[in-house]
Amino acid sequence: MAGLRAPRRPIFAANWKMNLLRDEAESFCNDLRGALGSPEADVVIFPAAPLLDSVARSIEGLSVMVGGQDVHHESEGAFTGDVSAPQLLDAGCVWALCGHSERRRDHAETDSLVGAKARAALDHGLLPMICLGETQSQRKAGETMDTLSRQLHAVLDAIESSLDEEGEPRFALAYEPVWAIGTGATATPALAQEAHDFLRTRLAERLGTRRASQVRILYGGSAKPGNVAELIAEPDIDGFLVGGASLDSVSFRAIIHNSAAAG
């Protein structure tokens, strides 16, 4: 894995969404065993909630982290079907996805709710991975940057006061253009870089240049072994949040390998 960029350590994250059963998840983790070495990168798996415990056990001894695909903004209570930050921690999670576009779309999650979820994650010691991105119609209407700006500021409003002044930022962003998710239509490197650069510039305005330069911004949306090298060559793309191509350990490993080779 030599050659991956400094100072931001890349993240390769598998968002399995509502896929895989326990046996499949365990064999995926076994396939990573011995194959990853000690990558100069963070590797995170986001399994569906019922798989968290078995994935957390299966990755013991591997330099791989586990995360929840969603987190409730309250720490406990009468919220049928939801999962709290303390429960995710208890299951061995380090990360929590917040604001994935499928949750914004299917569960009517608003910008302020996403902010509250990220805040809950942070307050309980989880690292939120905050997803943002424009829809096809927003891009066509020239509203991409306004959308990203609105989504980012809502989250920063919620979490800024709980961020440390010193040390590495305890959150990451994932730019996931909605039109690229599950469609095979990956953003071009230039287009993705433009969005990442925009997000980092907005981060710098809020958090200062030093802290903004430490925040890892992942790209997500039809990332696959064949396109990650050219994407990660862009200066502000710090890894990938992978859906479909993360369900198969061979292609997920190829994503990590091909990115490292390009670094």
- Chain residues binding ligand 13P by CB under 6 A are 15, 100, 176, 181-182, 220-223, 241-245
Measured from the CB atom, the residue of 70 and 176 that comes closer to ligand 13P is 176
Q: Where are the beta strands (DSSP E) in 133-178?
A: 172-175
Q: How far is the CB of 46 from ligand 13P (least distance, A)?
A: 8
**In the block, which residue shows the tokens 């309980």?**
124
Phi and psi for 144 in degrees, rounded to 5? -60, -55
Q: State the Cα–Cα distance between residues 86 and 36, nearest whole angstrom.
A: 29
Measured from the CB atom, the residue of 163 and 247 that comes closer to ligand 13P is 247
Query: What is the DSSP code (8-state) at residue 41?
Result: S
Q: State the Cα–Cα distance between residues 45 and 193, nearest whole angstrom.
A: 24
Q: How far is the CB of 34 from ligand 13P (least distance, A)?
A: 25
| Whether 205 is catalytic | no
- Residue whose C-beta lies closest to ligand 13P: 243
| Whether 176 is catalytic | yes
Q: How far is the CB of 79 from ligand 13P (least distance, A)?
A: 23
- Dihedral sign of CA atoms 142, 146, 151, 152 in order: positive
Q: How far is the CB of 76 from ligand 13P (least distance, A)?
A: 27
Annotated catalytic residue within 72, 73, 100, 196: 100
Measured from the CB atom, the residue of 29 and 245 that comes closer to ligand 13P is 245
Structure tokens that stand for 62 in this block: 């591997």
Q: To which H or E segment does residue 29 belong?
A: helix 22-32
Measured from the CB atom, the residue of 212 and 242 that comes closer to ligand 13P is 242
The Cβ of residue 150 has, within 10 Å, a number of other Cβ atoms equal to: 13
Annotated catalytic residue within 102, 109, 134, 176: 176
Active site residues: 100, 176
